Amino acid sequence: MIWACVSARSTLACVLSSALAGLGLGLSLIVAIGAQNLFVLRQGIRRQHVTAVVVVCTLSDALLIMLGVSGVGAAVQAVPGLIDVVRWAGALFLAGYAFVAARRALRGSPAGLTGEGPASEVSRRGSVVLTCLALTWLNPHVYLDTVFLLGAVANTHGSTRWAFAAGAVTASVAWFCALGFGARRLGRRLATPRAWRVLDGAIAVVMLALAVSLVLPR
């Protein structure tokens, strides 16, 4: 086990080993296609409020990782019905978002590409941040992967579990920055009516599939 590492190697080697393990597991969990990643991708391509979205996602992930490592995940599992409430709330939200994306795809009118005044821009930023928060915190998979699974693995690292957590947070920051700002660089090339209809259509399908998967019996 990792704990034996403390007596066999230097403390620094153990810390680095745990941090790299956290980085690897964090990337393996976060890179999978999901509602949050698709939203970051869309905002990046739109070149709209990318920094705010990246900050919200990374801070949310960091908080969830710390909750898992601190043992909150085990406590939450003891509360009957809590995950079911989040599961149904998340399914309803994802289904609604899928409907909106499908409507955009059918109309072929990507919102947000036209000029807007300052008041409208502030209002839209608030809406984007709220949507990002909902896609993050109303997604049961976030709790299952980040809080429960990652937290459980982190605690097998004993005294270096917070180094593991730091590695996982680093993975989150690197991924969301690469996804959001990388997509922003491609925004002008993809800002065509056809490209937007394809993207929104794909988002609608994935969001609806995720919503259905949340309510199917396990």
The Cα–Cα gap between 207 and 202 comes to 9
* pTM of the predicted structure, to 2 decimals: 0.75
* 94 half-sphere exposure, CB direction, 13 A CA radius: 29
| pLDDT of 133 higher than 90 | yes
Q: What is the pLDDT of residues 36-92, one digit of tens each?
A: 888 998 899 888 899 999 999 999 999 999 988 887 666 666 666 766 777 788 788
- Comparing 38-52, 132-146, 165-179, the range with the smallest average pLDDT is 132-146
Higher pLDDT, 122 or 72: 72
Asked if the structure places residue 65 within a domain, the reply is yes
Average pLDDT of the chain, as a whole number: 80
Sort residue 17 into left (φ over 0), alpha (ψ -120 to 50) or beta.
alpha
Reported as a pLDDT band with limits 50, 70 and 90, residue 193 is confident
Reported as a pLDDT band with limits 50, 70 and 90, residue 128 is very high
Asked if the structure places residue 169 within a domain, the reply is yes
Range of the domain at 129: 10-215
Tokens at 113, concatenated? 């590409």
Which value, to the nearest 10 degrees, does the dihedral of the CA atoms of residues 128, 133, 135, 136 take? 140
Count of C-beta atoms within a 10 Å radius of residue 137: 16
* 45 half-sphere exposure, CB direction, 13 A CA radius: 19
pLDDT for 76 = 61
Q: How far is CA 148 from CA 74, 160, 190, in A?
A: 7, 18, 37
Q: Identify the CA nearest to 97 among candidates 127, 54, 76.
A: 127
Asked if the structure places residue 71 within a domain, the reply is yes
Q: What is the pLDDT of residues 13-37, one digit of tens each?
A: 788 888 888 888 888 888 776 888 8
Contacts of 28 (CB under 8 A, 6+ apart): none
pLDDT for 124 = 85
Q: Give the burial string for 88-103 (b: 16+ CB within 10 Å, else e).
A: ebbbebbbebbeebbe
Number of domains in the chain: 1
Asked if the structure places residue 30 within a domain, the reply is yes
Asked if the structure places residue 41 within a domain, the reply is yes
| pLDDT of 117 higher than 70 | no
Asked if the structure places residue 2 within a domain, the reply is no
